[in-house]
Amino acid sequence: MKKSFVIYVLSDSVGDTAEQVARAAAEQYKNTDYEIKKYPYVESVVKIDNIIDNVDVKNSIFVYTIVNQEISEYLKKVCDQKNITYIDIMAPSLDKFSSFLNQEPLRESGVIRKLDENYFKRVEAVEFAVKYDDGKDPRGILKADIVLIGVSRSSKTPLSMYLAHKNYKVVNIPIVTGSKVPDQLFEVPRKKIIGLMIDPSDLIEIRRERIKVLGLDNSVDYVSIEKIYEELEYAQKIMKKLGCPVIDMTKKAVEEAANLVIDIINDLN
């Protein structure tokens, strides 16, 4: 004859961890039939009382991940009083970590959820940077947290990707001599736009390395010093017209430049 029982999963977060552990354990036993009832965001003793009032104590087991000490202790107390079997999943782990690290836990609920939210925000920012890289779609300017503008090989793309990993949605727009910049640049707050400049001698070396990779020769305008001076002068005019902050990328690592961008954005907010 099958043993039927109910697993009550309680958590002060979403409860997925407790549910997975409970299900994995329950599946190890033959001739059983169980139901899982999950109660996320258990953050008060009143909610615990409401749950326990409807429990069949003989055929129920409580599995929970509640890091708030007051609520966790209350749940244990009530379960002991009503003779309800319970498993505190977090307690053994927290005890071992506390002993190992020689410090007390934060007892803050939803930490994993916050980490997950941060992860998905970062993924979204990276996808945004890829989608709107190198001026592919200027409509992204209106949605971006940061807009980088500069001539070719001024580190717009690597800087965009690095900032994306810091959860910023970044668009980068190339400035090409004689070409009109997107109208959207004049529709967003100037504080969102960062101009990137670079020393001509550095830029020509970077571009020469680039055309080697592409299998081109040094005769193209792309590595002409006259052309580079012209491009940088034009870019400077555009940046001045926009009234945006400008960063000199000469000899700067992407990490250093990213910190400067973030500082500028934060100072202007």
Which tokens belong to 188?
A: 């967003």
pLDDT of residue 167: 93
Alpha-carbon distance 69 to 26, whole Å?
Answer: 26
pLDDT of residue 110: 63
Can you say which residues are annotated as belonging to the binding site?
150-157
pLDDT of residue 120: 83
Please provide the average confidence, as pLDDT, over all residues in the chain.
91
pLDDT of 236 higher than 90: yes
pLDDT, tens digit (0-9, with 9 covering 90-100), for 40-57: 999 899 999 999 988 998
pLDDT of 269 higher than 60: no
The sign of the CA dihedral 194, 198, 200, 204 is negative
Mean pLDDT for the stretch of residues 210-220: 80
Alpha-carbon distance 154 to 192, whole Å?
Answer: 18
pLDDT of residue 175: 97
Task: Work out the pLDDT band at 182, boundaries 50, 70, 90.
Answer: very high
pLDDT, tens digit (0-9, with 9 covering 90-100), for 57-108: 899 999 999 988 899 999 999 999 999 999 999 889 889 999 999 998 877 7
Mean pLDDT for the stretch of residues 152-174: 96
pLDDT of residue 230: 96
Contact 260, 241 (CB under 8 A): no
Q: Buried (b) or exposed (e) across 107-117, using 16+ Cβ within 10 A? A: bebbeeeeeee
All structural domains of the chain, each given as residue ranges with its CATH number in brackets, are: 1-113 (3.40.50), 116-264 (no CATH)
Alpha-carbon distance 247 to 249, whole Å?
Answer: 6
For residue 60, the cross-strand partners are: 6
Task: Work out the pLDDT band at 111, boundaries 50, 70, 90.
Answer: low
Which tokens belong to 205?
A: 């070396």
Alpha-carbon distance 6 to 59, whole Å?
Answer: 6
pLDDT of 258 higher than 80: yes
Can you say which residues are annotated as belonging to the binding site for ADP?
150-157
pTM above 0.85, yes or no: no
